[in-house]
């Protein structure tokens, strides 16, 4: 089935049985079968690591640089299948040996997309730890989180949502210490703030909750209120009325 082909395009009836043959070219038949089964021992012998000595008639014609691209392509295929089937050991091995966690299929789906769709939370954790991007979209503009919701994978969707939230929270910059002008009165005496001065003879505590000019009419040194003047003002206002 071509990469651009879909079930809808082929008119497949719901509930039908589909038999597919794996592409035998370049050793892909053994590779896909071992990946689907999660057979890590066999996969290690099928050219998925940079130091692999595995070859096919096609790979023998490649240059050193082309051979590395060939191995990377095979590793990406295995990573996608392993993430889909939930083979955590295979996923972990591939990522530790340099598999591209951002690799995508022709339809734009990454290993994180398929792990989210299947609800394989352990694989999701491993992929995120190695740099998988939650904001990446496939060719339809769908992210891994949205795909998890579409397929009803509530646990996986919550896991991806919390990861996104932590990523956003880590970019928020908080001042380690606010200026006194930015503090409210009750904040100026936080236990973490030093509100005293120490000397060899004594310790002096400082308190300045309000500005010096504020409420000066009620201070001890404020001038006394003139009652006569106040009464005259009140009388004038009543006469004017």
Convert the pLDDT of each residue in 213-228 to its tens digit.
545 555 566 666 655 5
Say what the pLDDT of residue 181 is.
Answer: 73
- Give the Cα separation of 43 and 31 in Å (integer): 7
Evaluate whether 46 touches 74 at the Cβ level (below 8 Å): yes
**Under CATH, domain 7-159 is a member of which superfamily?**
Ankyrin repeat-containing domain (1.25.40.20)
Mean pLDDT of 31-36: 96
Quick one: DSSP state of residue 182?
G
CA-to-CA separations, 43 to 20, 109, 124, 139, in angstroms, rounded: 21, 22, 21, 29
Say what the pLDDT of residue 13 is.
Answer: 81
Question: What would the pLDDT profile of 180-219 be if each residue is shown by its tens digit?
Answer: 677 666 666 556 666 667 777 777 766 655 555 545 555 5
CA-to-CA separations, 55 to 5, 37, 44, 64, 68, in angstroms, rounded: 30, 22, 13, 12, 12
Biggest CA pair distance of the chain: 114
Mean pLDDT of 83-94: 98
Please give the residue that has the higher pLDDT: either 226 or 167: 167
On the 0-12 / 13-18 / 19+ scale of CB atoms within 10 A, 109 is: buried
Whether 84 shows a pLDDT value over 80: the answer reads yes
Q: Where are the domains of the chain?
A: 7-159
| pLDDT, the chain, mean | 84
- Give the Cα separation of 183 and 180 in Å (integer): 5
Say what the pLDDT of residue 7 is.
Answer: 74
Beta strands in 57-172 (DSSP E): none
Question: What would the pLDDT profile of 99-157 be if each residue is shown by its tens digit?
Answer: 999 999 999 999 999 999 999 999 999 999 999 999 999 999 999 999 999 999 999 99
Q: Can you give the pTM of this predicted structure?
A: 0.69
């Amino acid at each position: 089935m071509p990469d651009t082909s879909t079930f809808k395009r082929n008119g497949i009836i719901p509930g039908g049985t589909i038999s597919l043959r794996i592409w035998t070219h370049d050793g892909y038949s053994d590779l896909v079968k071992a990946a689907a089964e999660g057979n890590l021992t066999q996969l290690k012998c099928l050219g998925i690591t940079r130091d692999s000595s595995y070859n096919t008639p096609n790979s023998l014609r490649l240059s050193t640089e082309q051979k590395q691209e060939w191995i990377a392509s095979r590793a990406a295929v295995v990573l996608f299948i392993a993430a889909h089937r939930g083979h955590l050991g295979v996923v972990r091995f591939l990522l530790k040996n340099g598999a591209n966690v951002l690799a995508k299929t022709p339809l734009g789906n990454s290993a994180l997309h398929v792990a989210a769709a299947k609800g394989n939370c352990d694989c999701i954790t491993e992929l995120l730890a190695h740099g998988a991007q939650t904001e990446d979209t496939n060719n339809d503009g769908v992210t891994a989180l949205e795909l998890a919701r579409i397929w009803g994978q509530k646990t996986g969707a919550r896991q991806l949502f919390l990861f996104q939230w932590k990523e956003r929270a880590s970019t928020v910059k908080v001042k380690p210490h606010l200026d006194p002008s930015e503090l409210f009165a009750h904040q100026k005496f936080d236990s973490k703030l030093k509100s005293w001065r120490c000397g060899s003879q004594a310790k002096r505590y400082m308190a300045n909750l309000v500005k010096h000019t504020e409420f000066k009419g009620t201070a001890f040194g404020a001038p006394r209120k003139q009652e006569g003047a106040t009464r005259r003002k009140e009388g004038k206002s009543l006469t004017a009325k």
